[in-house]
């Protein structure tokens, strides 16, 4: 074959190979750039979701913090400060002590119901800046609904147990009833005046257990105090519930004691 023809064929093949290689390289570069663009967009979306979840949590941080703090403090008073002595005081003080304690529980559930109604739960549980709070809220709910604590004979008789359905029902009632879109819980005066008619059936077993001496040694209440202390520590970003002594923040007694519960 003529050398010129061979050279022309070789040149043609090389040119074709280069063209193919260039096409492949261009395609791969395009795929790579597209992948980078996709990852950047996904990262931006994830960041936006995290910010949205954090923004919503921050909006209800204060009422949730107050509800968790008051419930934890009341549990501590029951376990360590002989609060139950008020149950044998005058009829008025006895009822106030009982309903005041149940109100702490109810307001926590009511606030939680409001938070969950305003947040996309999946986003709340998966976003980096809200995931730990979401996990703690789930642990508190689980500690209340578990039959592993305070058994008398069988799991049917676990004291202070409130199933998740009961928790949600109490929360809905504290928000104003099913279908309510209120972003605030009902106050104590309403709870007090309407307890027997509205709330008593949901709190019957819990209230009965509260009126017994075993409340002081309840493993469930001890666990709840620990979890609530952790939740308060996470939510209290500005140190609203701490004292500053000598430049050092000092946590309230019930929070500190909860670490030993």
How far CA 143 is from CA of 3, 151, 222, in Å, comes to: 88, 13, 10
> Does 111 score more than 50 pLDDT?
yes
Highest average pLDDT, of 55-64, 90-99, 123-132, comes from 90-99
> Which pLDDT belongs to residue 171?
95
pTM of the model as a whole: 0.74
| Cβ atoms of 159 and 152 closer than 8 Å | yes
pLDDT digits (tens, 9 = 90+) for 75-87: 999 999 888 888 8
CA atoms within 13 A on the CB side of 158: 15
Residue 189's φ and ψ, nearest 5 degrees, are: -60, -40
Structure tokens at 76: 């501590």
Q: What number of H helices and E strands is found in the chain?
A: 10, 2
| Cβ atoms of 76 and 257 closer than 8 Å | yes
Residue 115: pLDDT band (50, 70, 90) is confident
State how far the Cα of 47 lies from the Cα of 53, in Å rounded to an integer: 10
Residue 6: pLDDT band (50, 70, 90) is very low
Structure tokens at 202: 């949901």
pLDDT digits (tens, 9 = 90+) for 147-194: 888 787 766 678 889 999 999 999 999 998 887 788 889 999 999 999
Residue 89: pLDDT band (50, 70, 90) is confident
Instruction: Work out whether the CA dihedral 86, 226, 261, 211 comes out positive or negative.
Output: positive
Lowest-pLDDT choice from 31-45, 65-79, 114-128, 211-225: 31-45
Other C-beta atoms closer than 10 Å to the C-beta of 172 total 17
Question: Which of 207, 258, 218, 189 has its CA nearest to residue 105?
Answer: 207
3-class state of residue 160 by DSSP = coil
| Cβ atoms of 198 and 188 closer than 8 Å | no
Q: Where along the chain do its domains lie?
A: 1-50, 60-258
| Cβ atoms of 247 and 253 closer than 8 Å | no
| Cβ atoms of 107 and 116 closer than 8 Å | no
How far CA 80 is from CA of 51, 157, 206, 221, in Å, comes to: 40, 24, 19, 11
> Which pLDDT belongs to residue 143?
93
233-246 average pLDDT score: 72
33-61 average pLDDT score: 59
Angle between helix 61-80 and helix 3-59 axes, rounded to 10 deg: 60
State how far the Cα of 232 lies from the Cα of 252, in Å rounded to an integer: 11
């Amino acid at each position: 074959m003529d050398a010129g023809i061979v050279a022309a064929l070789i040149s043609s093949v090389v040119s074709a190979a280069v063209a193919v290689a260039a096409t492949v390289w261009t395609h791969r570069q395009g795929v790579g750039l597209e992948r980078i663009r996709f990852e950047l967009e996904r990262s931006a979306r994830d960041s936006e979701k995290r910010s949205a979840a954090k923004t919503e949590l921050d909006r209800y941080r204060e009422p949730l913090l107050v509800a968790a703090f008051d419930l934890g403090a009341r549990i501590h008073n029951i376990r360590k400060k002989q609060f139950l002595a008020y149950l044998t005081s005058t009829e008025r003080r006895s009822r106030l002590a009982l309903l005041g304690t149940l109100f702490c529980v109810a307001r926590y559930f009511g606030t939680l119901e409001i938070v969950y109604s305003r947040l996309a739960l999946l986003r709340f549980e998966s976003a980096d800046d809200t995931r730990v709070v979401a996990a703690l809220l789930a642990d508190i709910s689980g500690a209340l609904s578990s039959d592993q604590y305070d058994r008398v004979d069988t799991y049917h008789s676990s004291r202070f147990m409130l199933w998740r359905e009961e928790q949600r029902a109490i929360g809905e009632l504290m928000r104003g009833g099913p279908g309510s879109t209120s972003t605030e819980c009902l106050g104590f005066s309403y709870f007090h005046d309407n307890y027997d008619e509205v709330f008593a059936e949901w709190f019957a077993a819990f209230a009965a257990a509260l009126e017994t001496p075993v409340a002081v040694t309840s493993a469930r209440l001890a666990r709840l105090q620990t979890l609530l202390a952790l939740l308060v520590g996470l939510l209290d970003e500005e140190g609203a519930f701490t004292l500053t002594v000598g430049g050092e923040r000092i946590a309230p007694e019930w929070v500190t004691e909860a670490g030993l519960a």
